[in-house]
Chains A and B, each alone.
Chain A
Amino acid sequence: MTDHHTHLPGHITDLEALERCAIHGRSTLYPDRIKILVGTATCGRAAGAQEVLDAVHEEVEGKHLPYAVAETGCIGWCSQEPLLDVWVPGQPRVTYGRVKPKQVRDILADLPEPRTELALAVMTGDDNALTGRRTSYCNGGDRPEATLNGLPTYADLPLFKRQLRVVMRNCGIVDPASLEEYAARGGYRALWRALFSLTPREVLQEVLLSGLRGRGGAGFPTGRKWQAVADARGGPKYIVCNADEGDPGAYMDRGVLEGDPHSVIEGMIIGGYTMGAHEGVIYVRDEYPLAVARLSEAILQAQRSDLLGKDILGSGFSFNVSITRGAGAFVCGEETALLASIEGRVGEPRPRPPYPAERGLWGKPTCINNVETWATVPVVVQRGGGWLAGIGTGGSKGTKVFSLVGNVTNTALIEVPMGTTLAEVVNDIGGGVPAGRVCKAVQTGGPSGGCIPAEQLSLPVDYESLTKAGSIMGSGGMIVMDDRTCMVDIARYFLGFLEDESCGKCFSCRVGTQRMREIVNRISMGKGREEDLQLLEDLAWLVGETSLCGLGQSAPNPVLTTLRYFRDEYLAHIRDHRCPAKVCKELITYTIDPVICNGCGACISQCAGSAILGEKKKLHTIEQAKCTKCGACLEACKFDAVLVN
Chain B
Amino acid sequence: MIRLSLNGTGVQVEDGSTLLEAARLYGIPIPTLCHDDGLTPYGACRLCVVELGQGRLVSSCTTVAREGMVVRTDSQRVARARRLLLELYVATSPQSKRIQDLASAMGVRECRYEAKAEDCIQCGLCVRICAEQMMGGAIGFAGRGKNRRVARPFDQTSELCRQCGACLYVCPVCELRCQAGTADTTLCNGCLNFAPPCFKTYDDAMCFLDPCHACELAGPFRADARTRIRAASTAR
- Which B residues lie within 8 Å of A539 (CB)? 84, 88
Encode contact with A along B92-128: 1 for CB under 8 Å, 0 otherwise. Answer: 1000000000000000000011000000011110000
Interface-side segment among A298-306, A371-379, A541-549 = A541-549
Q: Does A65 contact B (CB under 8 A)?
A: no
Q: Does A110 contact B (CB under 8 A)?
A: no
Interface-side segment among B40-48, B198-206, B215-223 = B40-48
- Whether A504 and B143, one on each chain, are in contact in the complex, defined by CB atoms closer than 8 angstroms, is yes
Q: Does B81 contact A (CB under 8 A)?
A: yes
Min Cβ gap B16→A in Å is 12
Encode contact with B along A617-638: 1 for CB under 8 Å, 0 otherwise. Answer: 0000000000000000000000
Given A506-B46, A547-B46: A512 and B88 interface contact (C-beta under 8 Å): yes
Q: How far is the CA of A542 from the CA of B144 in the complex (A)?
A: 21
Q: How far is the CA of A186 from the CA of B112 in the complex (A)?
A: 62
- Which B residues lie within 8 Å of A499 (CB)? 145-146
Min Cβ gap A238→B in Å is 23
* A545 in complex: contacting residue of B56, B63, B146, CB < 8 Å: B56
Q: Which of A511, A531, A553 has the most CB of B within 10 A?
A: A511
Given A512-B88, A539-B84, A542-B81: A507 and B146 interface contact (C-beta under 8 Å): no
- Which A residues lie within 8 Å of B58 (CB)? 351
Chain B residue, CB-CB nearest to A349 = B43
- Which B residues lie within 8 Å of A500 (CB)? 144-147
- Whether A546 and B144, one on each chain, are in contact in the complex, defined by CB atoms closer than 8 angstroms, is no
Given A515-B88, A531-B112, A546-B57: A504 and B46 interface contact (C-beta under 8 Å): no
* A514 in complex: contacting residue of B46, B123, B146, CB < 8 Å: B146
- Which B residues lie within 8 Å of A512 (CB)? 88
* A507 in complex: contacting residue of B62, B77, B121, B141, CB < 8 Å: B121
Encode contact with A along B56-72: 1 for CB under 8 Å, 0 otherwise. Answer: 11110011100000000
Q: How far is the CA of A501 from the CA of B89 in the complex (A)?
A: 21
Min Cβ gap B94→A in Å is 13
Q: Does B236 contact A (CB under 8 A)?
A: no
- Whether B148 and A510, one on each chain, are in contact in the complex, defined by CB atoms closer than 8 angstroms, is yes
Q: Which of A494-522 contact B (CB under 8 A)?
A: 499-508, 510-515
- Which B residues lie within 8 Å of A508 (CB)? 46, 85, 88
Q: Does B188 contact A (CB under 8 A)?
A: no
Min Cβ gap A6→B in Å is 44
Q: Does A46 contact B (CB under 8 A)?
A: no
Q: How far is the CA of A447 from the CA of B182 in the complex (A)?
A: 36
Given A351-B43, A545-B56, A546-B49: A510 and B146 interface contact (C-beta under 8 Å): yes
Q: Does A405 contact B (CB under 8 A)?
A: no
The size class of the interface chain A forms with chain B is: 20 to 34
Chain B residue, CB-CB nearest to A351 = B62
Main secondary structure of the interface of A (DSSP, over half): helix
- Whether B59 and A501, one on each chain, are in contact in the complex, defined by CB atoms closer than 8 angstroms, is no
Q: How far is the CA of A512 from the CA of B46 in the complex (A)?
A: 12
- Whether B43 and A548, one on each chain, are in contact in the complex, defined by CB atoms closer than 8 angstroms, is yes
Given A545-B57, A546-B81, A547-B46: A503 and B88 interface contact (C-beta under 8 Å): no
Chain B residue, CB-CB nearest to A504 = B148
Q: Which of A303-321 contact B (CB under 8 A)?
A: none
- Which A residues lie within 8 Å of B85 (CB)? 507-508, 542, 546
- Whether B144 and A507, one on each chain, are in contact in the complex, defined by CB atoms closer than 8 angstroms, is no
Chain A residue, CB-CB nearest to B56 = A545
Q: Does A535 contact B (CB under 8 A)?
A: yes
* A329 in complex: contacting residue of B63, B64, B144, CB < 8 Å: B144
- Whether B88 and A542, one on each chain, are in contact in the complex, defined by CB atoms closer than 8 angstroms, is yes
- Which B residues lie within 8 Å of A208 (CB)? none
Given A351-B43, A351-B62, A546-B57: A507 and B145 interface contact (C-beta under 8 Å): no
Q: How far is the CA of A507 from the CA of B88 in the complex (A)?
A: 9
- Which B residues lie within 8 Å of A542 (CB)? 81, 84-85, 88
- Whether A546 and B122, one on each chain, are in contact in the complex, defined by CB atoms closer than 8 angstroms, is no
Q: Does A346 contact B (CB under 8 A)?
A: yes
Q: Does A331 contact B (CB under 8 A)?
A: yes
Given A351-B62, A542-B81, A542-B85: A505 and B44 interface contact (C-beta under 8 Å): yes
Q: Which of A541-565 contact B (CB under 8 A)?
A: 541-542, 545-548, 553
- Which B residues lie within 8 Å of A515 (CB)? 88, 91, 113
Q: Does A538 contact B (CB under 8 A)?
A: yes
* B84 in complex: contacting residue of A506, A531, A541, CB < 8 Å: A541
Q: How far is the CA of A346 from the CA of B127 in the complex (A)?
A: 14
Chain A residue, CB-CB nearest to B140 = A346
Chain A residue, CB-CB nearest to B49 = A546
Min Cβ gap B109→A in Å is 14
Min Cβ gap B150→A in Å is 11
- Whether B84 and A504, one on each chain, are in contact in the complex, defined by CB atoms closer than 8 angstroms, is no
Q: Which of B112, B144, B148 has the most CB of A within 10 A?
A: B144
Q: How far is the CA of A504 from the CA of B151 in the complex (A)?
A: 14
- Whether B46 and A546, one on each chain, are in contact in the complex, defined by CB atoms closer than 8 angstroms, is yes
- Whether A504 and B145, one on each chain, are in contact in the complex, defined by CB atoms closer than 8 angstroms, is yes
- Which B residues lie within 8 Å of A353 (CB)? 64
Q: Which of A501, A508, A531 has the most CB of B within 10 A?
A: A508
- Which B residues lie within 8 Å of A510 (CB)? 122, 145-146, 148
Chain A residue, CB-CB nearest to B82 = A546
Q: How far is the CA of A346 from the CA of B143 in the complex (A)?
A: 10
* B92 in complex: contacting residue of A351, A501, A506, A511, CB < 8 Å: A511
Min Cβ gap B70→A in Å is 16
4 interchain residue pairs of minimum CB distance: A504-B148, A542-B84, A351-B62, A546-B46
Task: Give 5 A-B contacts (CB < 8 Å), ordered by A residue.
Answer: A507-B123, A510-B146, A538-B84, A542-B81, A547-B46
Task: Give A residues with C-beta under 8 Å from B.
Answer: 329, 331, 346, 351, 353, 499-508, 510-515, 531, 535, 538-539, 541-542, 545-548, 553
16 extra interchain contacts, Cβ-Cβ under 8 A, other than A499-B145, A500-B146, A506-B43? A346-B141, A351-B58, A351-B62, A351-B63, A499-B146, A503-B144, A505-B124, A508-B85, A510-B122, A510-B148, A515-B113, A541-B80, A542-B85, A545-B49, A545-B56, A546-B46
